[in-house]
Amino acid sequence: MADVKVPVLGESITEATVGEWLKNPGDPVKVDEPIASLETDKVSVEVPSTVAGVMGEQLVKVGDTVEVGAVIATIAEGGAAASPAAPPAASAAPAPTAPAAVASYGSSSPAQGQAPGSDGAAALSPSVRRAVLETGVDPSNLQGTGRDGRLTKEDVMTAAQNKPAAAPAAAAPAAAAPATGGRKEERVKMTRLRQTVAKRLKEAQNTAAMLTTFNDVDMTAVIEARAKYKDLFEKKHGVRLGFMGFFVKAACMALKDIPGVNGSIEGDEIVYHDYCDISVAVSAPNGLVVPVIRDAETLSVAGIEKTIGDFGKRAKDGTLKMDEMRGGTFTISNGGVFGSLMSTPIINPPQSAVLGLHRIEERPVVRDGQVVVRPMMYLALSYDHRLVDGREAVTFLVALKNAIEDPTRLLIDL
């Protein structure tokens, strides 16, 4: 038997939470094949097998906290003939947990129809199972986009949106059941990532003197530039031309003019940075993560878009590294992709400011004495009033607005 231990997770990280088991007792395992997923404060880390053989006993449960170096499972090397016979008895207890969880909520989801030992049921993470319950989507008919073809929550939600219109009628008899079954509740333990996010955001509220100022920006020029050059851009650089490249470049220019927005407070000292490490909020299966674009002021729009695209892909796969989410001098969060019209984003400590982008919406505005319709976006800058004055915050937003409304400024650094 070979022991599987929790690997080194990164500097100053001594423990993690078991997120899910990727292999059940009795499953064949290859060398370096992931058998479990661990959740740290910021990312998910997969635990690979060091030997080839058959999965043995799982020594910890999903949700348990484990320390670096702790033994979490055993593997029978070489896949002895006796090994396959033992797993059915060993796996009989843990394997039904996924179907049991489904049954406890009275769902008629097809997930219940899977065999207790099937890989399909075992590979569904808690968030995916919850999405399956809520949407009624059959996971066996979906093609996963996560690592090794595993389903993600986004896969389930996309399938739910694309369900035929006739589906609700078929589900009508089941919809009547809750009337007799009463109200139900679900209790799910907070992931380590969500606990860390909650702790840091509350810390920001308790520590910083936060204030938010707003402005709006006419997106006409950027939209026209994007429409004109997007095909050539993608052909040359191999990445799509989005709006974030423009905003990151514009933010870097504005940060040079207003260095306080790019600074931070450490004790009784103010730290000013002559570089722009821009944190960008990226959606991941377990929540938002904030990887950092290092030295963004030195990158082209193409370089920025490539970096963001790579972050998005690896966030979905769960392969972002801890070091890629450390540091950052300024944050940009784009709630517009989810339909947000306006918000007051919370600072990411120890940074002094965060920029919130929102959805583009056609609105009537006055231009040269005439009322015209323009694609407008609200901008929100939340900042630490201990370091950034209102005048500086407004000046920053105006500089950003001017650069977006006249992208030529990005070329001549004006």
pLDDT 10s digits, 294-310: 999 999 999 999 999 99
Q: Is 358 a catalytic residue?
A: no
- Residues 270 and 302 reside in one and the same domain: yes
Whole-number pLDDT of residue 356 = 95
Residue 44 belongs to a domain: yes
Q: Judge whether 279 and 200 are in contact, CB under 8 Å.
A: no
Cα dihedral angle (313, 319, 322, 323), rounded to 10 degrees? -60
Average pLDDT of 392-403? 96
Residue 380 belongs to a domain: yes
Confidence band of 201 (pLDDT split at 50, 70, 90): confident
- Domain that residue 204 falls in: 194-412
Average pLDDT of 363-381? 95
Distance CA 203, CA 207 (A): 6
- Residues 60 and 8 reside in one and the same domain: yes
Residue 384, Cβ neighbours under 10 Å: how many? 25
Residue 188 belongs to a domain: no
**Cis bond upstream, residue 291 (ω within 30):** no
Residue 326 belongs to a domain: yes
Distance CA 310, CA 304 (A): 10
* Boundary of a domain, candidates 138, 153, 181: 181
* CATH code at position 165: 2.40.50.100
Residue 53 belongs to a domain: yes
**Alpha-carbon distances, residue 24 vs 63, 95, 118 (angstroms):** 16, 8, 9
Confidence band of 10 (pLDDT split at 50, 70, 90): low
Q: Of 301, 260, 257, 304, nearest to 278 (Cα)? A: 304
Give the burial string for 61-91 (b: 16+ CB within 10 Å, else e).
ebeeebeeebebbbbbbeeeeebeebbeebb
pLDDT in tens, 65-93: 888 888 888 888 875 433 343 444 444 44
Is the pLDDT score of 381 beyond 80? yes
- Residues 20 and 137 reside in one and the same domain: yes
Confidence band of 219 (pLDDT split at 50, 70, 90): very high
- Residues 93 and 202 reside in one and the same domain: no
> Which one is catalytic: 231, 295, 385, 406?
385
Which amino acid, residue 290?
A: V
* Boundary of a domain, candidates 152, 181, 210: 181
Residue 361 belongs to a domain: yes
Strand partners, 289: 282
Average pLDDT of 382-388? 94
Average pLDDT of 357-377? 95
Q: How many helices (H) and strands (E) does the chain have?
A: 15, 19
* Boundary of a domain, candidates 181, 215, 232: 181
Note if the pTM is more than 0.85.
no
Whole-number pLDDT of residue 77 = 81
Distance CA 39, CA 196 (A): 11
Structural domain count of the chain:
2
**Alpha-carbon distances, residue 330 vs 175, 361, 398 (angstroms):** 47, 26, 17
Q: Of 208, 197, 213, nearest to 325 (Cα)? A: 197
pLDDT in tens, 91-128: 444 444 443 333 333 333 343 334 333 444 445 666 67
Residue 372 belongs to a domain: yes
- Residues 109 and 20 reside in one and the same domain: yes
Residue 189 belongs to a domain: no
Is the pLDDT score of 6 beyond 60? yes
Q: How far is CA 103 from the centre of its chain?
A: 29
Least confident of 10-14, 132-136, 250-254: 10-14
Q: Is 385 a catalytic residue?
A: yes
Sign of CA dihedral 345, 350, 352, 353: negative
More confident residue, 257 or 149: 257
- Residues 345 and 373 reside in one and the same domain: yes
- Residues 204 and 329 reside in one and the same domain: yes
> Which one is catalytic: 273, 389, 406, 413?
389
Q: Judge whether 53 and 77 are in contact, CB under 8 Å.
A: yes
